[in-house]
Amino acid sequence: MRTKESLWGFFASDPQLSFNEDGEARLFAWIGQEQFERNPDGSFTQGETKFYPFKMFRRSAEHAYEKFARGDNFVASGHVQKFSYEKNSETVSGEEFIATHIGPDAARTSYAIDRGRSRSQQVESAPIEAPDPTLPQQPSPRPMTL
């Protein structure tokens, strides 16, 4: 099972789409993460919201630009990357999230899924059953992407 780091948050700025000299897309936005602290009585206190730079590249960046706007909640997978640069003779450093996948946060967003074809046009398949854990498992006959 392949896994990556994940991040949830909201777009604190409008996503910006640009292209490099090779025509590859780059999405940049500031994202926010609300911070909550659990109290001894089980309630929560909201802390200060933290903001981070967020980037996506290539076709994923174009899709995200079409689908997301400032204020939208999301869940993304990818990795954290440290950065540093010189500005006015001082070193500025921090972290940014480089996303490879993104979708709406189902816990905070109502959304509809457009599957592109009506159910009557889709090929019917047998119901999916959980494997019996007592039997040896065969590899999947085709690659599976989550």
What CATH number labels 9-104?
Answer: 2.40.50.140
The pLDDT value given to residue 134: 65
Burial class (CB in 10 A: 0-12, 13-18, 19+), 55: middle
> What's the whole-model pTM score?
0.71
Cα distances from 118 to residues 49, 111, 115, 125, 126, in angstroms, run: 42, 18, 7, 15, 18
The pLDDT value given to residue 114: 75
Residue numbers of the chain with a pLDDT score lower than 70: 117-146
Listed residue (40, 106, 109) closest to 69, CA to CA: 109
For the segment 55-88, what is each residue's pLDDT rounded down to a tens digit?
999 999 999 999 999 999 999 999 999 999 999 9
Let me know how long the chain is: 146
The pLDDT value given to residue 80: 95
The pLDDT value given to residue 125: 53
The pLDDT value given to residue 65: 96
Q: Where are the domains of the chain?
A: 9-104
The pLDDT value given to residue 82: 95
The pLDDT value given to residue 144: 45
Cα distances from 141 to residues 30, 115, 129, 138, in angstroms, run: 41, 24, 16, 8
Maximal CA-CA distance, the chain: 65
Q: How far apart are CA 132 and CA 24, in angstroms?
A: 45
